[in-house]
Amino acid sequence: MAKQAGVSHMTVSRVLNGHPNIRESTRERVLQAIDEMNYTRSSIARALATRRAMRIGVLVDSPVQYGPNSTLRALEGAARDAGYAISAFSVSDDDGMQIDSGVVDLVTQGVDALCVIAPRQSSLDLLGQQATGLPTVVVKSEAHPDMHTAGVDQCQGAKLAVSHLISLGHRRILHLAGPMDWYDARVREQGWRDALTAAELPVSDPAVGDWTSDFGYEYGSSLELGEATAIFAANDQMALGLIHGLSDRGIRVPDDVSVVGFDDLPDARHFLPPLTTVRQDFAALGALALQLIIAAIEGESTDEHDMIEPVLIVRRSTTAPRA
């Protein structure tokens, strides 16, 4: 915050304490910086004492998606409780300039650390080319050789979904995957594949979607089920469109085919039928990510990779296949 105002930490302290020998123009600059960066008196005092900004920079990949958005909100809440502020920069496509601009934007705010939420392979590769010197935590379910990582166990979540279908008696289970540049999509696809292989069931090529309900609808509108009696969709939004597309063709869920999603959207319980899905605890994920970030800032030794277990939520979109 002192850097934002272009003054020393001592000058910030004097402004806060009403010191008389401060130029009015300097006082106004400091107060404007405080207002722009949403600092409270307690966070400023702590920043002055520790010589830290008490601010974490967050790069959010595709923030319109439910998972990244929910993770960001959870991290913001956990950071607020710990006396930290969040500066977020959204990355919405594969343009490397966005990554460069985001890193520059956050670093020039004097943040103490960086966090990357829901990265694609391409985004993380570009970020790796930036030498910020800041502690960095990545929110993803796979370990990373150069950064601390925190995430929900996506592979286990997919295995829970597929194992549930297998336990109901399904033997041909299709997968509507997310974009394969996304770490989460890749790991969910691997979990689906591993569960089928472990049960010695056939594995067909997955359909690769784009996370949207529109893609799920198109897939459901043209899908040839063959002997398949169940479909695991990589997120709830595609599952919603899938059910709609199947319904328009007179294919009933779950009577004719069972459908499982992933995420447990707030509205998933109100789908027709209510959706069986995998729930991610975003509040716990935000708290875990913040814990790793603060430990990295303070130079403490922590696990390089930590994960939260997902939970299967069974509703009425799955049932045993018809004989």
In a domain, 106, yes or no: no
In a domain, 208, yes or no: yes
In a domain, 161, yes or no: yes
Do 158 and 276 reside in the same domain of the chain? yes
Share of the chain above pLDDT 90, in %: 55
Assess whether pLDDT exceeds 90 at residue 50: no
Number of domains in the chain: 2
Q: Please report which confidence band the pLDDT of residue 18 belongs to, taking 50, 70 and 90 as the band edges.
A: low
In a domain, 39, yes or no: yes
Q: Domain range holding 17?
A: 1-51
| Mean pLDDT, rounded, for 57-66 | 84
In a domain, 8, yes or no: yes
In a domain, 58, yes or no: no
Secondary structure of the chain in HEC code, one letter for each residue: CHHHHCCCHHHHHHHHCCCCCCCHHHHHHHHHHHHHCCCCHHHHHHHHHHCCCCEEEEEEECCCCHHHHHHHHHHHHHHHHCCCEEEEEEECCCCHHHHHHHHHHHHCCCCCEEEEECCEHHHHHHHCCCCCCCCEEEECCCCCCCCEEEEECHHHHHHHHHHHHHHCCCCCEEEEECCCCEHHHHHHHHHHHHHHHHCCCCCCCCEECCCCHHHHHHHHHHCCCCCCCEEEECCHHHHHHHHHHHHHCCCCCCCCCEEECCECCCCHHHCCCCCEEEECCHHHHHHHHHHHHHHHHCCCCCCCEEEECCEEECCCCCCCCCC
Q: Which residue has the higher pLDDT, 74 or 108?
A: 74
Q: Which residue has the higher pLDDT, 136 or 230?
A: 230
Assess whether pLDDT exceeds 60 at residue 23: yes
CATH number of the domain where residue 179 is located? 3.40.50.2300
pTM, two decimals, is: 0.80
Q: Please report which confidence band the pLDDT of residue 47 belongs to, taking 50, 70 and 90 as the band edges.
A: very low
In a domain, 77, yes or no: no
The whole-number pLDDT of residue 26 equals 80
The whole-number pLDDT of residue 32 equals 76
Q: Please report which confidence band the pLDDT of residue 136 belongs to, taking 50, 70 and 90 as the band edges.
A: confident
The whole-number pLDDT of residue 310 equals 97
